[in-house]
C-alpha cells in the first residue's frame, strides 16, 4: 500500500510534463552526440504526438538492447530494428537518462554490440 501512495500524490498533469521533459532530454542528448549518429529517431519529435517512450532505429538494435540489459538498463526491442526507451516519469530521473546515454555511447562507439553474446536471439526480447 505504501508504494501506491506515490501514485496518489502525483498528478497526471505533472507526470505528463515530466515525461515530456525526460523524453525531450533523451532525444537532445542522443542527437547531440556524434558517437550516436547511427541511431535515428523514429518517435515523433513533437511531444504532443508521442507517448511515454522514445524509439530509435539502428541495424543492430537487438544487440544494442541486449548490451544495455547486461548493464541493468532495460529498454525494449521491436523487430526489425527498433530500440525503445520507456520513460516512467514517476521514478525515472534526468540522471537516469544521462546514464542511458553514456552507456549507449560506449556500446555504439566501441561496437560492443558486435560481441556474439548480444546477438543471440531469445524467445523474449
List the grid coordinates of 3: 508504494
Angle between helices 94-109 and 61-69 (to 10 degrees): 120
pLDDT at position 122: 78
Of 79, 45, 50, 47, which Cα lies nearest the Cα of 65? 79
What is the pLDDT of the chain when averaged over all its residues?
93
pLDDT at position 94: 97
CA 103/CA 90 separation, integer angstroms: 22
pLDDT, tens only, 59-99:
999 999 999 999 999 999 999 999 999 999 988 999 999 99
Using 50, 70 and 90 to split pLDDT, how confident is the model at 9? confident
CA 90/CA 105 separation, integer angstroms: 26
pLDDT at position 3: 66
Using 50, 70 and 90 to split pLDDT, how confident is the model at 11? confident
Amino acid at each position: 500500500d505504501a508504494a501506491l501512495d506515490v501514485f496518489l500524490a502525483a498528478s497526471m498533469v505533472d507526470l505528463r510534463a515530466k515525461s515530456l521533459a525526460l523524453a525531450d532530454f533523451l532525444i537532445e542528448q542522443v542527437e547531440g552526440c556524434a558517437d550516436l549518429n547511427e541511431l535515428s529517431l523514429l518517435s515523433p519529435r513533437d511531444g504532443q504526438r508521442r507517448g511515454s517512450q522514445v524509439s530509435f532505429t539502428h541495424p543492430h538494435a537487438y544487440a544494442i538492447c541486449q548490451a544495455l540489459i547486461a548493464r541493468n538498463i532495460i529498454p525494449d526491442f521491436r523487430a526489425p530494428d527498433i530500440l525503445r526507451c520507456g520513460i516512467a516519469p514517476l521514478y525515472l530521473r534526468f540522471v537516469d537518462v544521462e546514464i542511458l546515454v553514456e552507456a549507449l555511447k560506449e556500446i555504439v562507439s566501441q561496437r560492443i554490440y558486435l560481441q556474439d553474446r548480444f546477438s543471440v536471439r531469445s524467445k523474449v526480447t
